[in-house]
Every structure is written in structure tokens, then in C-alpha cells.
Chain A
Amino acid sequence: MPAAEAVFRQDFPVKGGDFAHAGAVACRIKELLKDLGLDAATVRRAAIAAYEAEMNVIMYAWEGRMDLAVSPDEVHITVDDRGPGIADVELAMTEGYSTATREMRELGFGAGMGLPNIKRNSDILHIDSRTGEGTRLKIVIRRNGHGAS
């Protein structure tokens, strides 16, 4: 989203392996969107997509950043991480496919639903991943009652 179109913008660091603070960014994004007056359904979709994306950085990457940009019509969440990347994006989008460790599963995650659930809760999802370098997710959620359906 061009800076001129965003009415609100903030970015957040995410540290790989930091399970103790997992969800902190998603919860903050949810609070911000509620404070901005977005409708509950849009806030929930954005929060779920953000949480899944945050967990992916924590579980698989070394570090990352999440950028939240809100315009009158859309919510954009862009996630950039430095990490191993996704070797086969199509396979990673398959529900149930996972490379999670036992530790991740014991925390209730790593069931192979992360990327599919981000897609389910977004109107547009772009994934650009380079093996050995990292991954960029661009998530776009149209606000209820705004823009094209």
C-alpha cells in the first residue's frame, strides 16, 4: 500500500524462536484495529491472519517484521522474514502439510493449517519465498462494506 493511501501504519519486530511472546504482535494489531473503529468481522480476520503469520515467523524463521497498514477500504499486513524460506509453496498451502517439530505441536501449533488459514481469512495473499533467504507474505483484507467484494 503506498504510504499516501494509508491512514494508519505501524510495524513490529518478531523474533524467531520466541515462543514466550508468541501472539503479542497479533494481539496488538487486533487492539489497534478495534481502536481505529473497524468492524468486528474484519478485525477478527486480520487478527487470525496476523497470528498465523506471526507463529510462522516464530516457528520457522530467525527474525522478521510485520507491517500493518490500514486504508479506508483495506487492511494490509506484510510479513518479511529472514529464514530458510519455503521450498515448495504449493505443498505448504496444502491443509495438514507441516514440517513442525514436536515442541511446536505440543504448544498447539504446527498442524499444517497456518498458510491455508491465512488465505481463508484474507482477500488477497501473495507469497514470495527464496530458499535460504526468507519469505514475504502480503496479506490484504477488504474491510466489510468497503471496496470491491
Chain B
Amino acid sequence: MIVLKDVLALLEGELITPATSPEAAFRKVFASDLMSDVLTAAEPGSLLLTGLANGHVVCTCSVADLAGVVFVQGKRPAADVIGQALAKNLPLIVTKMTMFEACSRMAGLVEDGGHARR
């Protein structure tokens, strides 16, 4: 399992939903800007890395049982999106790193390379 506080340290990230627990844990990592791909291929319990910062990200995570989101390149969702995430107890992290750098660093945390093929 990948623990949220380790993700924060590795990605020099900011937890923008402070009410969520830093001990939250994730089974897998999935990276995409396409919510259609998230709905198709991400596994339940995954941490999503994305450059998309609108309310559809929170809704997609809720529908597909994803457990947290990292917004790359300093993209910060609007206050209402953060509110939606808090209501669903979904931790949101912002990192200034690019998608590539964030994924590269996360790969070091994940034993099987991030996302097992089905």
C-alpha cells in the first residue's frame, strides 16, 4: 500500500483537503487526463495523477472508487471542487511537478510498476 504522507513527501505536494487523513493508503497508481480512461482501466482504491482540475475528476473518482487525486503542474481545482472532494472524503494533493516527473517518482514507490494489467 502507498501511504498519503509518503506521496506528499515524494512529490513535494500540498494536501488541499486537510480534513482527510495523511494515513490514507492507496493500492495502485493510475495517471491520465482522460476520465474515460480512468473509468475504463483504473482499479478501485487507486491514486489518480492528472492534469485535469475540474469537478468531473471528483465525480469520476467517486463513481469508480478511486481513493485520492494528485493534480500535477500546480493545477489547483476551484473551491467548489475541493468542497465536493471533502464531502466524499477524497484527499486532493497539488504538486508543481510535471506528470512525467510525478509518475517517475511514484514508480519508485510502487512495487509492480503502478498499475497491473487486467
**With A113-B37, A113-B39: A108-B52 Cβ-Cβ less than 8 Å:** yes
With known contacts A47-B63, A52-B39, A113-B39, A23–B56 Cβ distance under 8 A: yes
Complex CA distance for A117 and B63, rounded to whole angstroms? 13
Residues of A within 8 A of B54 (CB): 107-108
B37 touches A30 (CB 8 A): no
On whether the beta carbons of A23 and B59 are closer than 8 Å, the reply is yes
Contact residue among B44, B59, B64 (Cβ-Cβ distance under 8 Å from A22): B59
Q: Is A51 an interface residue (CB 8 A)?
A: yes
A-B contact count (CB 8 A): 67
B residues in contact with A50, CB < 8 Å: 63
Interface of A is mostly: helix
Q: What's the least CB distance linking A45 to chain B, in Å?
A: 10
Report yes or no: A110 in contact with B36, Cβ–Cβ below 8 A.
yes
User: What's the tally of chain A residues with a CB closer than 8 Å to chain B?
Assistant: 24
Q: Mark A27-58, 1 if CB is under 8 A from B, else 0.
A: 10010000000001000100110111000000
- List chain A positions with a Cβ less than 8 A from chain B: 22-24, 26-27, 30, 40, 44, 47-48, 50-52, 107-114, 116-117, 120
B-side residues, CB < 8 A to A, are 33-37, 39-40, 44, 52, 54-57, 59-60, 62-65
Given contacts A51-B39, A52-B36, 12 further A-B contacts (CB under 8 A): A22-B56, A23-B62, A26-B59, A26-B63, A27-B62, A27-B63, A30-B63, A107-B56, A109-B34, A110-B36, A113-B36, A117-B39
